[in-house]
Amino acid sequence: MIWLNYNPVTGEIINTGTAQNNSNAEQFEHLGDVIVGLHADRSLHYIRKGKVVDRPIMPIIKNNLKLSGIPLGCAIYIDDTLSVESNRKETITIEKEHESDTYNLRFALFPYLDFEVTV
């Protein structure tokens, strides 16, 4: 038997696991909101209206050093360091100190899949 528990507000899957076939749902009550019998990959899925659904792709568009379509509230990481906790703009332009500089950017906002790009 497979099971998963999730945050009922956001739908984020917290844990997944397996149990012996003779297990019953009551054994998982201590985990909180649990769905038994559904398989999901927490990096790719979340729960919406009691069903496992794909996490949406973040709608960011890259045009040279300009990034647009950034969802409001997105965390922006530059080279794995949190740079901005809450983006208030939908478009940003990357300014390089030297033309040869490269930066690894990651944008994170649940339920979207993280968006990563090197500029």
Reading the chain (119 residues) residue by residue, the pLDDT tens digits are: 777 888 889 999 988 877 766 555 556 555 567 766 677 898 999 999 988 999 999 999 999 889 999 988 889 898 988 887 666 668 778 777 777 788 899 999 999 999 999 88
Residue type, 65: L
- Does residue 111 contact residue 56 with C-beta atoms inside 8 Å? yes
Angle at 109 between CA 33 and CA 62, to 5 degrees: 150
Q: Alpha-carbon distance 82 to 68, whole Å?
A: 19
Query: What pLDDT is stored for residue 47 in this prediction?
Result: 92
Under DSSP, is residue 25 helix (H, G, I), strand (E, B) or coil? helix
| Block residue for tokens 């968006």 | 115
Whole-angstrom CA distances from 55 to 34, 41, 47, 93 are 19, 10, 9, 26
Query: What pLDDT is stored for residue 117 in this prediction?
Result: 92
Query: What pLDDT is stored for residue 15 in this prediction?
Result: 81
* Structure tokens given for 81: 């360091």
DSSP annotation of 28 reads G
Q: Alpha-carbon distance 36 to 76, whole Å?
A: 35
Sign for the CA dihedral angle at 15, 55, 119, 89 comes to negative
Query: What pLDDT is stored for residue 57 in this prediction?
Result: 96
